[in-house]
Amino acid sequence: MPNSTDHTCPDAEDDVVRILLAVADHFAEVRPTEALDTESLVVVISAETYDACGRSIDGRSTSLALAAHAAAPEMTEEMTRGEYALRLRRQFTASGHDWTDDDNQPVIPIIPGPRQAPQQQDPPQQGAPSCCGRPMRREGQQFVCGECGAWVDNGGEGG
Per-residue pLDDT tens over the stretch 96-124: 555 555 555 666 667 777 878 777 666 55
The residues spanned by each domain of the chain are: 12-100, 126-159
| Other Cβ atoms within 10 Å of 111 Cβ, number | 5
What is d(CA 137, CA 151) in angstroms, rounded to the nearest whole number?
A: 9
Closest to 5 measured CA to CA, from 47, 65, 45: 65
Report the distance separating Cα 30 and Cα 24, nearest Å: 10
* 3-state per-residue secondary structure call for 69-96: HHHCCCCCCCCEHHHHHHHHHHHHHCCC
The answer to whether 73 and 87 are in contact (CB under 8 A) is: yes
Crossing angle between the packed helical segments 81-93 and 12-29, to the nearest 10 degrees: 150
Bigger pLDDT: 142 vs 106: 142
pLDDT at position 92 is 81
| pLDDT tens-place string over residues 56-107 | 777 778 888 888 888 888 888 889 989 998 998 888 875 555 555 555 566 6
Instruction: Count how many residues are written for the chain.
Output: 159
Average pLDDT over residues 17-35: 90
Residues 88, 20 contacting (CB under 8 angstroms): yes
First-residue to last-residue Cα distance in the chain: 89
Is residue 43 pLDDT above 60, yes or no?
A: yes
* DSSP code for 53: T
